[in-house]
Amino acid sequence: MINVLCVPHGGGPMPLMGDPGHAEMIDYLTGVESTIGRPHAIVLISAHWECDQPTITSGPSPELIYDYGGFPPETYDLNYPAPGSPDLANTIAELLTTAGFDPKLDPQRGFDHGVFVPMMLMYPDASIPIVQLSLLSSLDADEHLRLGAALAPLAEHNVLVLGSGFTFHNMGAFTFGSTAGSATVDAENEAFEQWLRETCTSTSLTEDDRRERLANWSDAPGARWCHPREEHLLPLHVCYGAGGGPATQAFDGVVLGKRSSGYSWGATHEQ
């Protein structure tokens, strides 16, 4: 079973509105359960939560945070009543403390759209417990690789580490409207995706080389065009840290006119 997965979450609530620019992503996310099964719980790292220290949702019933603006009224009434897991939150805090971090539990924090949008497509029955882990506001790539490595033992308990971000996130370059489902000609986008695919999946790289490439991702071709700010890429760093080794490319498609990808790391566990 896949125990680490990094996926794109799209633009705000648009995937839940059936937006055609998200069609390939929607098709992929709605098929995730049939592909990877059902984990016992999920620890989710969203691009939309940053804290000075790693912070973990620890409430039993987190509410939703509608952290977007300008969308139809019904998108502010979306409901995804997935339970939290205070026990899992405590386990994560212990793992992070052992790894040298200073984690914090937050019993009040709800789930942002980087959580509930992909989850409503992947597991619409909202029955799997979810704990959200923040990014670090330092946005330091190496620190996020370390953060992910601390989560690796969760795989033994059939807990899915799920990264929710975007491998392309230049807001000014996305395409909206009827042409958003077709890739526009963008050499930087294609170059960075090729570099990322090689970095994550190549079996010819040593793990030291793979880690170094990810730690220095901004040196890659097209890197800062695709990510003027890195918060949407860093969930992938956490996922690599948790999964280790070469990944499998789980998604390769066009989202809002730009090439985007997702990656998985897996092992077999009893259900």
d(CA 239, CA 255): 21
Tell me, what's the pLDDT at 270? 35
Show the low-confidence residues of the chain (pLDDT under 70).
1, 178, 185, 267-271
Tell me, what's the pLDDT at 267? 56
Tell me, what's the pLDDT at 98? 98
- pTM for the predicted model, two decimal places: 0.96
Tokens of 261: 């990808």
Cite the beta strand spans of the chain per DSSP E: 2-8, 41-51, 55-57, 104-106, 130-136, 159-165, 248-255, 258-266
Return the ∠ at Cα 187 (arms to 184 and 191), rounded to 5°: 120
Q: Which CATH number fits domain 2-266: 3.50.30.50, 3.30.1330.90, 3.20.20.70, 3.40.830.10?
A: 3.40.830.10
Given a contact cutoff of 8 angstroms between Cβ atoms, the answer to whether 66 and 17 are in contact is: no
d(CA 192, CA 137): 24
The separation between the first and the last C-alpha atoms of the chain, rounded to the nearest angstrom, is: 9
Residue 15, SS3?
helix
* β-pair partners for 263: 6, 249
Cite the beta strand spans of 138-197 per DSSP E: 159-165
d(CA 63, CA 109): 8
Tell me, what's the pLDDT at 176? 86
Residue 38, SS3?
coil
Give the start-to-end residue ranges of the domains of the chain.
2-266
